Copies of this chain bind each other. A is one copy, B any other.
C-alpha cells in the first residue's frame, strides 16, 4: 500500500510547509499577518490553507505547540545537569525565561491565548489542547518543588502545584514587560535583576527552618 502511505507523507509535508510559512510571518508581523500572506509565502492558495487548518487560530495554535516542544526539550536538557534542589528549581525557572526571551514570537503567541478575545474565537477543544499541554509543562516545576520538600529543603506547608503556578505566572508577568522592551539591556537578559530578585525572594520564602 505504498500509495496511501505516500499520500499520507505528502499531506504531512504540506502541513509542515504551511506551518513554516505561518511561523515566519507570525514572527515577522505578529498576529496581524494575514492568511493571504501566509498562502503566498507557502506558495499555495488561501483555499488550500483551509483544507489543512480549520481557521487562522488553529494555525496559530500549531505554532504555539511547536514552541512548547522546544521548551520541553530545553527543560529536559537543563534538568540533566542540575543535581541540588535549588539549582534544579533555578534550572527550570531560567530555562523557561530564556526560552521565552529567545523566542519572543512564540511567547507572544502563547500569551495571546490568555486573552478573552482569542478564546472566544477558538473552539473549546483547541483551548483544551493548549491547557493540557500547559499543564504537562508545569509538571516540571511541580516536580522539582516536590523533590525539594521530600528532601526537607523546602517547607511542606505549601501546595507544590500552587507554588509552581505562582512562580510560573510571576515569571510570565515579568516576561510580558521584558518582551515588550526587547531593545533595552543588550548583552544580558533584559530585566535580569527583576528575574533574579523574584526567584531569590520566593526561594527564601519556602526554605525549611
A residues contacting B by CB (< 8 A) are 30-32, 108, 111-112, 114-117, 119-120, 158-159, 162-163, 165-166, 168-174, 176-177, 179-180, 193-194, 197-198, 200-206
Contacts and interface: CB of A to CB of B under 8 A. Distances in A.
14 contacts: A30-B117, A31-B115, A108-B115, A162-B193, A162-B197, A166-B194, A166-B201, A168-B173, A169-B170, A172-B173, A201-B202, A201-B206, A202-B205, A205-B205
Interface SS, A side: helix
B108 A116 contact: yes
A201 B170 CA distance: 12
Given A163-B201, A205-B205, 12 more contacts: A30-B117, A30-B120, A32-B120, A114-B180, A119-B180, A158-B201, A162-B194, A166-B194, A169-B173, A169-B176, A172-B173, A205-B206
Contacts of A204: 204-206
A166 B166 CA distance: 11
Residue of A159, A166, A171, A206 with most chain B CB atoms under a 10 A cut-off: A166
